[in-house]
Amino acid sequence: MKKRKNEQIERKSNKARFYLSLTACLIFVSTLTTEETTAAGESKYQSEQPLMAPEAPPSLPPTAPAFQRLPDSNSAQARTVGSQAQSSAAGSFPHETFLQGGVVEHAQRLEPVAPQLQAGAVFNAAALAPMQPNNDWYWIPSWYAGQKHVESEIILTETDLQSGRSIQLNRQVPIRQDLSIGFQADRNGQIWEFKRAPYTTRTDSGSYFTTLLVRNRDPLSVNQNQVILRMLETSILVDARTQRIIKSMQEEQINTYTPIAPGIMNMQTSIRSFAADGSPLQEESSVRTVTQSAAFSPVNFYEGKDMRALFAAFMQSHGYAQLLPEQAANPQAEQTQ
């Protein structure tokens, strides 16, 4: 269960942002009461505690890359970025990967949402394609692993990509969240993360619910200087009574983590939202300071799966059996004890 908190912080309260962007749409949904709309559209800026006074954002580490645009997330160029980053680790340990050119690229457009998942269609959860994560793992640096805590974030900018209008906010808001990073350690004490995606979650909000399809959670660059993750997801808002889809939206999020002091890392986030047809809607950038609350501890079970067995299978299939902990490398010996 503690690993689920990872998505809460890494995906920046997807439910809240999704409902905020759908405010105009929900006004015209007669089945929703004013109270229900307020509860479902609760902003990430709302809290029982008073908001802190706006202040200038902290300076970002020099290693934090600039955000650039990509013609199409499914284009050859997009695939090349990922393959180049991964290929740089070939034959090396601790499997550091580096983003070619030192930049992170947002998609300019995404593929449209499937017709059966667009507004007006009757939602059928049973018809969704199964979304089970592959057994993919990647090495992570020690400063990135462990139990982490965040108190607040600073929303830097919001941009309407249809009008081109951008607002400089520099607004600090409380979020107070915890996360756990890293699943297993190898024989040398190096820590490995489980990729987790794809997967599906559902959030109920009275007369409607949201199904979130997390399609990708890809490490673009993982080394001693930074960790960059790219997440791609689809949110589907459904009327619980009629089962008809009210609206669907896509979102691409890029998180860049950099160490700034012992036990402290910077988290820079850029989020781009897209309509059901794949056209860009808006973009938001923010920054957080993430502190270490406890050291890394292995996660042996997650979502009903034995992570030790999955980790051993991955390492053996990729030629890293010699890096497995002794018990994982010799399961029969463990059983006889």
- Give the phi and the psi of residue 34 in degrees, each rounded to 5: -60, -40
328 falls in which pLDDT band (50, 70, 90)?
low
| Through-space distance between the first and last CA atoms of the chain, rounded to whole angstroms | 29
Rounded Cα distance between 229 and 245, Å, is 30
CA-to-CA separations, 38 to 26, 42, 241, 298, in angstroms, rounded: 10, 6, 19, 40
Q: What mean pLDDT comes out for the span 276-297?
A: 96
pLDDT at 45 over 50: no
pLDDT score at 322: 94
Band of residue 40 on the pLDDT scale cut at 50, 70, 90: very low
Residue whose token pair is 């009327």: 239
CA distance 278 to 108: 9
Quote the pLDDT of residue 310: 97
**Total count of residues recorded for the chain:** 337
Would you say 269 and 285 are in contact if contact means Cβ atoms under 8 Å apart?
A: yes
**For residue 85, is pLDDT > 90?**
no
Calculate the alpha carbon distances from 306 to 296, 301, 309 in Å.
18, 5, 6
280 and 109 Cβ atoms separated by less than 8 Å: yes
Give the CB-side neighbour count of residue 97, counting CA atoms within 13 A: 20
Q: Among all chains, which residue has been given the structure tokens 């934090």?
A: 64
What's the Cα-to-Cα distance from 8 to each of 44, 134, 180, 183, 201, rounded to whole Å?
A: 12, 21, 11, 17, 12
41-55, 190-204, 205-219, 261-275: segment of lowest average pLDDT? 41-55
For residue range 143-198, list pLDDT tens digits in order: 999 999 999 999 999 999 999 999 999 999 998 889 899 999 999 999 999 998 99
Lowest mean pLDDT across 69-78, 209-218, 285-294? 69-78
Cis peptide before 62 (omega within 30 of 0): no
Concatenated DSSP letters of 125-175: GGGSPP----S-EEEE-GGG-EEEEEEEEEEEEEEETTT--EEEEEEEEEE
Instruction: Report percent pLDDT > 90 for the chain.
Output: 57
Per residue in 200-221, pLDDT tens?
889 998 899 999 999 999 999 9
The predicted pLDDT at position 331 comes to: 52
